[in-house]
A and B are shown apart, each in its own frame.
Chain A
């Protein structure tokens, strides 16, 4: 059974601090996604990682992918309150790649406090 595990599930940080969210997956996949969800809203695409060693950065967020370890990280640098949200990682299993359906982790609820 395909599993996508995120940790931590809850993260309370102070503004200005750094932290990393981890996403492990149990099957072979050629792409990994990170999304942000604000309360009551749909998903906002943050990053798409398509190859081993891929690293992408946008503002205070940086995502990386290690396909051999089946691990992706989302690193938060100098957190600010506006980053408070729930962050999901998702993978497309290769055996269902032709459909492209996503399997999501449980999400990490990030709360940045002043």
Chain B
């Protein structure tokens, strides 16, 4: 089956620093990747949609200059949280899909970010 990995699984960083989270599709080519954020005991909120080779589409209220998304290849998308603050602490989950009509979306294991 399709596998999506994320790295790191957990990261602790200090306020003001930047942290990069990688999302990889291991056995398929992901034309589209999605980034979600989940606060404790809450649902998943879509942050942005990225298509390989083009700029990401951000959801309303998500700062594109703060959450930099790059989808440079068909198997890798990265999310960089710049100048992190404690309120950015969250569980970040990526998902990937192949093609336009394929209905399945495969989720990564998530990255727990803690900003101190």
Contact = CB atoms under 8 A, between A and B. Distances in A.
Interface SS of A by simple majority: loop
Interface SS of B by simple majority: strand
Contact of A42 (B42, B103, B104, B108): B108
Contact of A98 (B34, B44, B45, B100): B100
B104 A101 contact: no
Contacts of B45: 104
Nearest to B102: A100
Given A41-B109, A99-B32, A100-B32, A107 B104 contact: no
A56 to B, nearest CB: 13
A38 to B, nearest CB: 11
Interface string A31-68: 10101000011110100101000000000000000000
Q: Chain B, interface size: which category?
A: 20 to 34
B60 to A, nearest CB: 11
Interface string B3-34: 00000000000000000000000000000101
B115 interface: no
Interface residues of A, number: 22
A100 B30 CA distance: 12
Contacts of A35: 107
Nearest to A31: B103
